[in-house]
Amino acid sequence: MNAHGTVHKYGDNVDTDVIIPARYLNTASHQELAAHCMEDIDKDFVKNVKNGDIIVANKNFGCGSSREHAPIAIKASGISCVIASTFARIFYRNAINIGLAILECDQAAQEIRGGDEVRVDFDTGVIENVTTGKTYQAQPFPPFIQNIVTKGGLLKSIEK
């Protein structure tokens, strides 16, 4: 499984309230949630994001609320992968469970800039910044986690 896209870059402690503000949690519709993704931290995100794009952020991405609406909004907006120095634990678990690919890699998170073109190989954990030519090694997920993400989420992975 691979991802290839343009980077949207954010800093430390991007919380779930800015990823999807609670005022929009009166719906579980993926498309409605995607329409407000990142609204309180980057009002142009929805306008600029293209299918396959990648979010890169620093430490503790997704901290705060347990709302699964946050990774759902990101995935439904077209983002193929989130790379961060670290993830808050509930977001980490939720992202895997709904089939949003994520990777932890501090050096990549520090060095990659907004607008860079990045390619990710989930089998090997290699992150390549096509713009700068630099590559980074993240810890790839074990096959059973990759299977969940590839199938599109935990429940889809256990469906008979």
Partner 1 sequence: MGMTMTQKILAAHAGLDRVEAGQLIEAKLDVVLGNDITSPVAINEFEKCGACSVFDNQRIALVMDHFTPNKDIKAAEQCRQVRGFADKYDIKNFFDVGQMGIEHALLPEQGIVGPGDCIIGADSHTCTYGALGAFSTGVGSTDMACGMISGKAWFKVPSAIKVELIGALQPFVSGKDVILHLIGKIGVDGALYRSLEFTGEGVKSLSMDDRLCIANMAIEGGAKNGIFPVDDVTLAYCKDRFQREPKIYVADEDAVYDETITIDLSSLRPTIAFPHLPENTHTIDEIAPGQIKIDQVVIGSCTNGRLEDLEVTAKILKENKVAKNVRCIIIPGTQSIYLEAVRRGWVEIFVEAGAVFSTPTCGPCLGGHMGILGKGERAVSTTNRNFVGRMGHIESEIYLSSPAVAAASALTGYITDPTH
Residues that bind partner 1 (CB under 8 A): 13, 15, 17-18, 21-23, 25-28, 40-41, 59-60, 63-69, 71-72, 86, 88-90, 93-94, 97-98, 153-156, 158-159
Shorter beta-carbon distance to partner 1: residue 8 or 67: 67
Shorter beta-carbon distance to partner 1: residue 66 or 131: 66
* In the complex, minimum distance from the CB of residue 112 to partner 1, in angstroms, rounded to a whole number: 20
Backbone angles phi, psi at 75, to 5 degrees: -65, -45
Task: Give the list of residues 6+ apart from residue 93 with CB closer than 8 angstroms, or none.
Answer: none
* Phi/psi-derived region of residue 130, left when phi > 0, alpha when psi is between -120 and 50, beta in every other case: alpha
Amino acid occupying residue 75: K
Shorter beta-carbon distance to partner 1: residue 8 or 69: 69
* In the complex, minimum distance from the CB of residue 143 to partner 1, in angstroms, rounded to a whole number: 14
Backbone angles phi, psi at 71, to 5 degrees: -65, -30
* In the complex, minimum distance from the CB of residue 92 to partner 1, in angstroms, rounded to a whole number: 8
Shorter beta-carbon distance to partner 1: residue 102 or 118: 102
Q: Give strand pairing partners of 5.
A: 118
Shorter beta-carbon distance to partner 1: residue 5 or 99: 99
| DSSP summary character for residue 23 | G
* In the complex, minimum distance from the CB of residue 125 to partner 1, in angstroms, rounded to a whole number: 19
Pair 3, 13: CB distance under 8 Å? no
The pair of three-digit structure tokens given for residue 113, joined into one six-digit string: 């800039």
* In the complex, minimum distance from the CB of residue 71 to partner 1, in angstroms, rounded to a whole number: 8
